[in-house]
Amino acid sequence: MSVISERLRRGSSSLAMALIITRRELRDSMRDWRIVWPIVILTLVFPWLMNFTARVSTGFVEKYGAAPIGPRLIPFLLMVVGFFPISISLVIALETFVGEKERNSIEPLLTTPISDGELYLGKMLAAMILPLMGSYLGIIVYLISLYWSMGYIPPLNLLILIIVLTTMQALIMVSGAVVVSSHTTSVRAANLLASFILIPMALLVQAESVIMFWANYKVLWWIVLGLVVVDLILVRMGMRIFNREEILARQIDEPNLQLAWRTFVGFFLCPPELALAPTHGERVPFTISRVYRHDIPYLLRRQWLPLTVVLVVLMASLALGWSYASRYPLPPQAIQLQNLSQDVFEKAPAIGFLPTFSTSGIFFNNVRALLLAVLLAVLSLGVLSFFPLMIPIGLIGLLMGEGPIVGYNPFLFFAAFVLPHGIAELPAAIIATAFALRVGASMVSPPSGLTVGEGLLLALADFVKVFLFLVVPLLLLAAFLEVNLTPHVVLWLKGAF
């Protein structure tokens, strides 16, 4: 009990220190009219404009016989009213560190006796509170004007959904912008990098608007869940890589491709357990036998957590695909597996999105899909690295789920169509996806003693090593088996379907 009490006391003390920074930042923001007046205008004027737009749009669609669209415009405009004030949070968050550095006021702040986490949390709260208050007030003003002019009262669940969406979007914009602000050398560079935050959020709002018009609000709760995951990743990333000494020492970031290449090659050639040692840059003997006897087994053991996560996602994708079979059943006898012949496999290239049914075609298609996984991992901090594996596994689950409906054994289907080449292909895909996930995670939480760039290079070096020496041979074997063995197994078992 005393341990728990001590932790609670430390937590409350850390929060109190962070709130000191928050109050200081809020006072500075309230004194700057360039921050206050845009929030006031977007809070008090913009909702009335949206109310006028709602009345005009509703009357317009009703005039031309599209009355069901009118009521769906109002929740969409409610979401827009909540989004615009929080866009100010991006400007405030970009100023948190690099702005103070340009104004020569960062040194006293960074020398205060508080931890990096408390300083980071205080800055992030300060950048988010004022725009969020403006957003909530704008929503209230919009709802009051709607009630006066149209008598509209939104359902409680819709109102809660809009508020949660607005809060999560604000947290994403602030946490991402604070990361940018703490790792750039000028406000100009921070503003340019802010487009990588603002553009995805604008596209997300457009996607949410389409869902709003369909009135499929359950999908929006899944988006909220995704936003929570991204929020946790960005906050974890910011607090993990924040370092006040680097902010003071950093003057200009000049790309050095030659140094990056030497670092990557050094990580690739050395044994993985020596990568973090001070001597990792020294020349070490590199042999193929060492890679297979030592490096790959060591890397696989060290990546047990990403491998476990990928396996869980794989099973979840299979179960999700199976569950959709009952929602979208095929007509009975829609798939006649008993009538399969060799011509079916030979004519597979006629389907445009499939590779040619040859060893080289299947091999290069699988290599391309797994390289796409590592690209998505870099762009999404690892979140989207699962998709190239989830989609085919989900389709397999869907076809297995359709088995009892259309009249074939789902497990026999898996044994005939997937297992012969899946013995090699599934392990290769799981391993490649796990290491791609680590590439994305390396930017969120780089190894101790390494910068974000060095951690990314280390993860890429491990990915390339495992991909070249383990995944590629397995994919080549799987492609050969898929062309030369799987069709014969299917034709041999077709009578059992």
Locus of tokens 């590199």: 286
The CA distances from residue 123 to 26, 95, 174, 460, 462, in Å, are: 9, 10, 10, 32, 36
- Round to whole Å and give the CA distance between 133 and 122: 17
- Round to whole Å and give the CA distance between 321 and 401: 7
- Round to whole Å and give the CA distance between 418 and 81: 50
Cβ distance 421 to 481 under 8 Å? yes
- Round to whole Å and give the CA distance between 174 and 134: 15
- Round to whole Å and give the CA distance between 41 and 377: 39
Lowest mean pLDDT among 210-214, 353-357, 470-474: 353-357
- Round to whole Å and give the CA distance between 1 and 9: 12
**What letters, b where the CB count within 10 A reaches 16 and e where it falls short, cover 368-379?**
ebbeebbebbbe
What sections of 151-216 are H helices per DSSP?
156-182, 187-193, 195-214
Cβ distance 91 to 35 under 8 Å? yes
Q: What is the structure's pLDDT at 120?
A: 78
Cβ distance 82 to 168 under 8 Å? no
Concatenated DSSP letters of 413-453: HHHHHTHHHHHHHHHHHHHHHHHHHHHHHHHHSPPTT--HH
- Round to whole Å and give the CA distance between 217 and 194: 29
Q: What is the structure's pLDDT at 467?
A: 94
Longest Cα–Cα distance of the chain, Å, equals 80
Give percent of the chain above pLDDT 70: 78
**Is a pLDDT exceeding 50 seen at residue 280?**
no
**How many other C-beta atoms are found inside a 10 Å radius of the C-beta of residue 102?**
15
pLDDT tens string 300-341: 998 888 899 999 999 999 988 888 887 877 776 666 666 666
**Is a pLDDT exceeding 60 seen at residue 352?**
no
Average pLDDT value over all residues in the chain: 78
**Is a pLDDT exceeding 60 seen at residue 11?**
no
The larger pLDDT score, comparing residue 471 to residue 207, is at: 471
Concatenated DSSP letters of 46-67: HHHHHHHHHHHHHHHHHHTT-G
Structure tokens at 115: 């931890």
Residue 452 identity (one-letter amino acid): V
pLDDT tens string 248-277: 555 555 666 788 888 888 888 888 887 766
- Round to whole Å and give the CA distance between 445 and 422: 33
What pTM did the predictor assign?
Answer: 0.73
Is residue 71 within a helix (H) or strand (E), and if so which, with residue range? Answer: helix 70-94
**How many other C-beta atoms are found inside a 10 Å radius of the C-beta of residue 218?**
8
Which one, of 170, 161, 167, 233, lies nearest residue 201 by Cα? 170
- Round to whole Å and give the CA distance between 127 and 177: 10
**How many other C-beta atoms are found inside a 10 Å radius of the C-beta of residue 108?**
9
